[in-house]
Amino acid sequence: MTSPLLEMRNVETYYGPIMAIRGVSLVVDEGEIVTVLGANGAGKTTLLKTATGALDSRKGRVLLDGAEIQNRDPDWVARQGIAHVPEGREVFPFLSVVENLEMGAYNRHDRDAVATDVETVYAYFPVLRELRGKMAAYLSGGQQQMLAIGRGFLARPRLLLLDEPSLGLSPALVEEIFRIITRLNREQGLSILLVEQNANVALRVSQRGYVMEVGGMVMDGDSNHLLASEDIKEFYLGKKEEGIRGRRRWKKRKTWR
Amino acid sequence: MLPLNDVVHLAVTGLAQGCAYGLIALGFVLIYKATEVVNFAHGEFMMLGAFTVLAYSEAFGGSFWPAFVLGCLTIGVVGYLIDAQIMRRIIGQSSASIFILTVAFGFIFRSLAGIIWGWNTLSLDTPFDGQVALGGEFAIATDRLAIIVATILLCVLLYLFFSRTRYGIAMQAASQNQLAAYYMGIPVKRLVSITWAIGAIIAAAAGALLAPVTQIDTTIGLLGIKALAGAIVGGFGSIPGALLGCLLIGIIEPFADYLLPEIKGVSPYIVMLLVLFLRPEGLMKQTFKKKV
Ligand SMILES: Nc1ncnc2c1ncn2[C@@H]1O[C@H](COP(=O)(O)OP(=O)(O)OP(=O)(O)O)[C@@H](O)[C@H]1O
Ligand SMILES: [Mg+2]
């Protein structure tokens, strides 16, 4: 049996004495888009940071192609082939758009291929071509999100981690960005682990999904199934009981195995 | 009024002094931007640089340039190791303990230099003798001119390095968003150590070039505090600002010392106080452009 591309096994991560994720497991296979849903504070960002070494786990293992990568420096993990597009874009504000992209390719030495991939990014996000000489700080939030995704793509990673790419964007822009995420997966063969609060759009682009709450996985399955599930409908798709996100509680606890 | 000749002489002296402050301030600011550590021992790299170049020069039978290059590189290695072996481990501690640590380094370096090279004033033979005519009756001392030219050269080199090379741009990236730089696979820790090395090399170069003017003893590194004042005058965190601030206090200093000999050497701090009162963000306000 071959190992999955990414596997997290019973991972526990703490902020000081506070356990932020409690024994979480997850699998991403080659070629998949997998989504992790969760309300504010569920631990999604913590999960991704643990996967790429920005946070150390206290227990559990993170495996890339079956090899342990937990608790290493994030630059080392990046060189193993995981590109992390962090929450809130985190572009390099005083570098130009093209310099930002080239920083994504920092560890690549095939200059021609990098130049081709910069063109590929411009083909997916034409607005970035127009802005290529501009400092990233001057870009709009949506343009920065495109830049952050493009920068991650330029590493030519085995796996791309996307932390809430819809954050703060208009519905139309969210649609556009997710269309491109789907295309990157299909056309470039890019495997993607996507963290989202926007369940509707995330489940439509992904093949499988997990649902997190207060640091643990409470549900997982095919995205279609999750989309149809009553709990998801209620709490993420706004079919019932509108409330402040993060305050919503899962009603039928017993249904989660 | 001062005779014109004296004015020119004082201005050139001040300009050279300001350039030397500027070279040291460059190191302060580079390290600060990369790590948010203010290295109060930075002037000591200059002092160690002067002694090391002198030691090599004596070993090589007086030839300056090989000694200069080797001496600067040696201090670069010292800077690299200080970050990689010591600073890296204490990053994240309170800024007060880091402050005290860098001050302590200063004392340690001064004692070490005294133990190795003695406490007397030494002098370094450089190829910069005599004067260069400026036209008319004016001339500029070659040693001062060397400092000015070296400063311009080093600034151009650094500018090209930080704006054109992959390493340099990655250093900018790491100073703008360290975690994102890590996520891109940039070896941030190594680049920070290289930043320390670059800062140390520039300071060492300043020490050797300034040696004909200041001579060499264990206390010359204290001039680093004036460079720090200059960097604050210019707006700490901005490299062009730091250079400008240092040139300003450098040029004011000889005039102030000449006119008010009772408070010799104090003028940089007075200028700093004035700037802090009148324009606390420094001359070059760092609004947006945080370019290295
Ligand atoms: N630096 C920190 N120090 C202490 N606790 C933290 C820290 N960062 C996050 N937490 C806590 O860990 C838990 C998980 O946070 P995390 O950021 O992973 O949530 P999230 O699912 O990404 O939320 P959001 O959707 O708002 O981004 C939260 O309860 C949060 O308060
Ligand atoms: Mg988050």
> Has residue A237 got a pLDDT over 70?
no
Ligand 2 center to residue B20 CA distance, Å?
48
pLDDT for residue A55: 96
d(CA B3, CA A255): 95
With CA atoms as reference, the chain A residue closest to B190 would be A75
Candidate from A230-239, B42-51, B140-149, B196-205 with smallest mean pLDDT: A230-239
pLDDT for residue A96: 97
pLDDT for residue B286: 55
- Tell me, what amino acid is at B36? E
Looking at every residue in chain B, the average pLDDT score rounds to 91
Which residues lie below 8 Å from residue A163, measured CB to CB, with a gap of 6+? A44, A45, A48, A84, A85, A86, A87, A195
Please list every residue in chain A whose beta carbon sits closer than 8 Å to the beta carbon of residue B185.
Answer: 75, 78-79, 106-107, 155
Please list every residue in chain A whose beta carbon sits closer than 8 Å to the beta carbon of residue B239.
Answer: none
Give the angle subtended at the CA of B130 by the CAs of B127 and B134, to the nearest 5°. 120
Nearest-CA distance from A81 to chain B in Å?
9
Which residues lie below 8 Å from residue B21, measured CB to CB, with a gap of 6+? B223, B226, B227, B230, B246, B247, B249, B250
For residue A49, which of A70, A76, A28, A32 has the smallest C-alpha distance?
A: A70
Which residues lie below 8 Å from residue B83, measured CB to CB, with a gap of 6+? B35, B192, B193, B195, B196, B197
CA B192 from centroid of its chain's CA atoms: 18
Between B179 and B237, the more confident residue is: B179
User: Which residue minimizes the CA distance to atom 5 of ligand 1?
Assistant: A15
CB contact under 8 A, B291 and A84: no
* Averaged pLDDT, A57-66: 96
> Has residue A228 got a pLDDT over 80?
yes
CB contact under 8 A, B185 and A107: yes
pLDDT for residue A251: 43
Structure tokens at A177: 């960005």
The reply to whether ligand 1 has any atom less than 6 angstroms from the CB of A86 is: no
Kind of pairing between the strands at A159-163 and A191-196: parallel
Which residues lie below 8 Å from residue B252, measured CB to CB, with a gap of 6+? B14, B267, B268, B271
d(CA A229, CA B276): 63
> Has residue B265 got a pLDDT over 50?
yes
CB contact under 8 A, B186 and A103: yes
* Averaged pLDDT, B166-180: 95
- Tell me, what amino acid is at B139? A
- Terminal Cα distance for chain A, rounded: 27
pLDDT band for position A204 (cuts 50, 70, 90): very high
> Has residue A63 got a pLDDT over 70?
yes
CB contact under 8 A, B179 and A94: no
Write the class of the CATH domain A1-81+159-175+193-257: alpha beta
Ligand 2 center to residue B172 CA distance, Å?
26
For residue B15, which of B246, B230, B269 has the smallest C-alpha distance?
A: B246
Structure tokens at B129: 């003798």
User: Which residue minimizes the CA distance to atom 2 of ligand 1?
Assistant: A15
Candidate from A14-23, A71-80, A230-239 with smallest mean pLDDT: A230-239
**In chain B, what are the domain boundaries?**
4-222
> Has residue B127 got a pLDDT over 60?
yes
Phi, psi values for residue B122, rounded to 5°:
-115, 165
Looking at every residue in chain A, the average pLDDT score rounds to 91
Please list every residue in chain B whose beta carbon sits closer than 8 Å to the beta carbon of residue A137.
Answer: 288
Burial label for B93, CB within 10 Å (0-12, 13-18, 19+), is exposed
Task: Render pLDDT for A126-181 as a digit per residue (tens, 0 to 9).
Answer: 999 999 999 999 999 999 999 999 999 999 999 999 999 999 899 999 999 999 99
| Residues on chain B bordering chain A, Cβ-to-Cβ distance under 8 angstroms | 166, 169-170, 172-173, 176-177, 179-189, 288-291
Which residues lie below 8 Å from residue A110, measured CB to CB, with a gap of 6+? none
Task: Render pLDDT for B1-21 as a digit per residue (tens, 0 to 9).
Answer: 678 888 888 998 899 999 999
> Has residue A86 got a pLDDT over 90?
yes
> Has residue A1 got a pLDDT over 70?
no
For residue B177, which of B76, B44, B12, B34 has the smallest C-alpha distance?
A: B34
Which residues lie below 8 Å from residue A130, measured CB to CB, with a gap of 6+? none
The reply to whether ligand 1 has any atom less than 6 angstroms from the CB of A20 is: yes
Ligand 2 center to residue A245 CA distance, Å?
13
d(CA A71, CA B86): 22
Ligand 2 center to residue B164 CA distance, Å?
35
In this structure, the number of other CB atoms found within 10 A of the CB of residue A86 comes to: 22
The residue to mutate among A18, A162, A210, A213, having the most atoms of ligand 1 within 8 angstroms of its beta carbon, is A18
> Has residue A255 got a pLDDT over 80?
no
pLDDT for residue B250: 94
Please list every residue in chain A whose beta carbon sits closer than 8 Å to the beta carbon of residue B170.
Answer: 103, 106
> Has residue B111 got a pLDDT over 80?
yes
Q: In the A/B pair of chains, how many CB contacts fall below 8 A?
A: 76
> Has residue A252 got a pLDDT over 50?
no
For the four alpha carbons of B61, B67, B68 and B69, in that order, the dihedral sign comes to positive
Ligand 1 center to residue A28 CA distance, Å?
22
pLDDT band for position B289 (cuts 50, 70, 90): very low
pLDDT for residue A253: 39
CB contact under 8 A, B184 and A137: no
User: Which residue minimizes the CA distance to atom 7 of ligand 1?
Assistant: A15
pLDDT for residue B283: 79
The reply to whether ligand 1 has any atom less than 6 angstroms from the CB of A44 is: yes
pLDDT for residue B76: 98
Between B90 and B138, the more confident residue is: B90
Task: Render pLDDT for B195-243 as a digit per residue (tens, 0 to 9).
Answer: 999 999 999 999 999 998 888 999 999 999 999 999 999 888 888 999 9
Domain with CATH 3.40.50.300 in chain A: 1-81+159-175+193-257
Global ipTM: 0.90
Distances in whole angstroms, Cα of residue B118 to Cα of each of B87, B103, B114, B274: 28, 21, 4, 39
Q: Could you tell me if B244 and B283 are in contact, meaning their C-beta atoms sit under 8 angstroms apart?
A: yes
For residue A31, which of A210, A189, A224 has the smallest C-alpha distance?
A: A189
User: Which residue minimizes the CA distance to atom 28 of ligand 1?
Assistant: A41
d(CA A42, CA A21): 8
For residue A54, which of A100, A108, A15, A23 has the smallest C-alpha distance?
A: A15
> Has residue A241 got a pLDDT over 50?
no
Between B130 and A153, the more confident residue is: A153
Distances in whole angstroms, Cα of residue B116 to Cα of each of B81, B110, B137: 20, 10, 44
- Tell me, what amino acid is at B93? Q
pLDDT band for position A91 (cuts 50, 70, 90): very high
Ligand 2 center to residue A41 CA distance, Å?
7
pLDDT for residue A205: 96
Torsion-angle region of A79 (φ positive above 0: left; ψ -120 to 50: alpha; else: beta): alpha
For residue A6, which of A38, A44, A34 has the smallest C-alpha distance?
A: A34
pTM for the full predicted model: 0.90
